Amino acid sequence: MNFIHIGAGAGDLDPASNFRDGFSEYVKKHKVKKKKIYVVEANPKNIKNLKKCWKNYKNIKIINCAIVPNNFKKKKIKLFYSEDDAPHYQLLSSDINHVKKYFPYSIIKSIYVKTMKIKSFLEKYLKDSNVESFSIDVEGIDYDIIMDINLKKYNIKNFSIEYLHLRRDQKKNLIRKLLENGYSYKGFGLDHNNIDWMFTKKKSWWNDFITRLFPYVHRIHYKRFNRILKKI
């Protein structure tokens, strides 16, 4: 069984996040030292802290690259970041306007990072097609990456997906794909700021019904909806 986190930042060593990281907290809480853990981070400045974060785990593979959709042609990608986002530059994006949105008065810089297509990543590292937890937070291209994953080939039990930057049409397409592959919405994902959705490969008529209504319910009463789901 595998655990995958794409867009790991500095793990649980970032003071801007109050030294919290949903994925590492989840893994460490469940004591999965005998499982294979893959942690991917594009920003080379964060690799040192990720190694410290996971120093007690021999089954960890920390990968410094940018995971991209399968149609991305270039071997490197230009990523933008704000000087005001120091020291860990968690908001690293291929869209400069995305960075400016959150840091409108900051100096924006850029770096080039080597890329790996999501298909290549899964084929290279997953010897076992079973994935317990797949968490992704890549500032804007989460949708394209997930839509490129072959869910018939890979048995991913839980998806934690950042929804913050998804357009309405992307939300619908994403939910449709997950529904068709046996997933149901189960509330907030691993991020402790509640900006992730959790989808679980566990079908029931109630979860299926709620998931189909989800795009509408989400806009009305998200927090109340989440409390109800946790009781199911």
Reported as a pLDDT band with limits 50, 70 and 90, residue 38 is very high
Q: What is the structure's pLDDT at 135?
A: 95
Alpha-carbon separation of residue 154 from 67, 119, 134, 149, 158 (angstroms):
17, 11, 11, 8, 12
**Mean pLDDT of all residues in 196-213:** 72
| pLDDT tens track for 141-195 | 899 999 999 999 999 999 999 888 888 889 889 988 998 898 888 888 898 888 8
CA 37/CA 131 separation, integer angstroms: 10
Burial of 43 (0-12, 13-18, 19+ CB in 10 A): buried
- Domains of the chain by range and CATH? 2-69+117-230 (3.40.50)
Is residue 200 within 8 Å of 183, Cβ to Cβ? yes
Is residue 196 within 8 Å of 226, Cβ to Cβ? no
Is residue 160 within 8 Å of 178, Cβ to Cβ? no
